[in-house]
Every structure is written in C-alpha cells, then in structure tokens.
Amino acid sequence: MNIIVLPGSTSPYASEIQEVYSTIEDGAQSLGFECQVVAYPGQQGVNSGRLTYASAVERAITVCRERKPAWIIGRCFGCEIACGILASGEPWVGGVRGAVLWGPGLLKRYRTFWPTAEKQRKEIEDHKAKGTWLASDCLDTLPGIESLIQNVRCKVRIARGTADEICKSEDVYDLYEIHHRSQPDFSQPYLEVPGLDHYVFKSKISADHLAQYYDCLFAPFPTAN
C-alpha cells in the first residue's frame, strides 16, 4: 500500500520534530507499506516558496497524481490539506481506501490562537524557527476543515491522543458529526488514543502506546458500514 503523509505547518525537516515523521515511516515500513512525507512550499528553506493552504494543496495533489496513494495520513494542518485534496475530484481520489486525520486543527480553534493581525504576524515570524516560511496572508486565507470535510467522499478516521492539549476532544467529535451528517455512507467512528500527545515520538512512549498509535494510523476500515 502506498501512503502519503501530510505534515502540519512545522517543517517535517525541523530537528525537534523529525522523529514524529520517522515514527510514522517506521510503522508503515514495518507493515510493508511505502510511505512518503510531503513537504509544502516554504518548508525547505527560505528559498522554497511560501506556505498557504492553496500552495500546500497544489503540492500535495502533484505528489498524489504521481504516487496514486491508497491511504492518506494528515497531521494537524495536514488534516485540512488531506480534506482539500480528497474533495478535489481528481481521478486518483477514487483509489484512496481511507484517510486518518490526527490532531486536526479547526478554524474556530485557530481564531482563538490568532485573534488579531499582530498575533498573526508574530505567528508567521515564530514559524521561521520551525523551519517554515508562511505567506503573509496564510492565516487569513485558511478555508477551515469544518467546511472542507463536508465534501470528502472517503472513509475518514478522525483521531487524537487524550494528552493532546492542542486538539481537544470536542474538536474530533465536532468533525465526526459534520462528516457523518454530510457523508453518512463514508462516516467512521472517531478515535481517542489513551495517553498520546499531539506529537508522537517513538522513543518517548511505551510499546503498548506505540502499537495503539500504529493501529490508529494503519488499520484498514471495515469493508461495509
């Protein structure tokens, strides 16, 4: 199975977060799956472009046209990108068996993080230390996963760790409810994995927690609802 991983807004190459993605890659490889982590414009140095929702979707679709993934994993901001590309109507979408959204960021939550233009400018500056250069209008032009997921005609597992202080329990429930109402034929139970945080590092968790995480990320969906 070919898997595409869509990262959050922090560059997957940032030293403090590389293990988050190597943990996912290790799990995929242990199951015999091929796995590619996508880097968006603005995540490979100052000269790699600027990150916006639109530029991230364009890059992800380009990769998916080539790789034709059977499975998609989105993390945080990457959940929004996953919903955007799955709702794109591209021919390769028909071959996707399912998607996992880990720790999705809701637009209503983002608005509480950056309620003013000043806080948005500070967030853009802070992201440079995370290896990502955001476009000046990036935070103003986010469409919101709440609207995007309504058009996702694909089985989706919406998930979080119970120790996640960024994505709340009500966030995954709200997204599940939206997808369930909009696409009942594709609706799947949401999942909260005990003890796990927003960022999952293989070296910092027990073997049991790691097994539960991998089951969340890679377990296939039932063939019938």
pLDDT recorded at residue 47? 95
Structure tokens belonging to residue 127 = 């992201």
Q: Is residue 225 part of a domain?
A: no
Mean pLDDT of 127-140: 95
Mean pLDDT of 29-40: 97
Mean pLDDT of 66-76: 98
pLDDT recorded at residue 225? 46
Tens of pLDDT, residue by residue over 49-69, are 999 999 999 999 999 999 999
Q: Is residue 99 part of a domain?
A: yes
Mean pLDDT of 140-168: 96
Least trusted range by pLDDT, from 46-60, 105-119, 138-152:
105-119
Residue type, 136: S
Q: Is residue 95 part of a domain?
A: yes
What domain count does the chain have? 1
Banded pLDDT at 41 (limits 50, 70, 90): very high
Structure tokens belonging to residue 204 = 């910092």
Range of the domain at 112: 2-218
Q: Is residue 224 part of a domain?
A: no
Which residue intervals of the chain are DSSP H helices?
Answer: 18-30, 53-67, 77-86, 107-113, 117-128, 145-148, 169-182, 207-218
Banded pLDDT at 224 (limits 50, 70, 90): low
Per cent of the chain over pLDDT 90 is 95
Q: Is residue 33 part of a domain?
A: yes
Q: How much is the mean pLDDT over the chain?
A: 96
What's the CATH code of the domain at 124?
3.40.50.1820
Whether the predicted pLDDT of 191 surpasses 70: yes
pLDDT recorded at residue 223? 75
Q: Is residue 26 part of a domain?
A: yes
pLDDT recorded at residue 222? 84
3-state secondary structure of 196: coil
DSSP label of 13: T
d(CA 212, CA 207) in angstroms, rounded, equals 9
d(CA 115, CA 113) in angstroms, rounded, equals 6
Mean pLDDT of 135-163: 96
3-state secondary structure of 94: helix
pLDDT recorded at residue 130? 96
pLDDT recorded at residue 68? 97
Mean pLDDT of 113-139: 94
3-state secondary structure of 203: helix
Residue type, 206: S
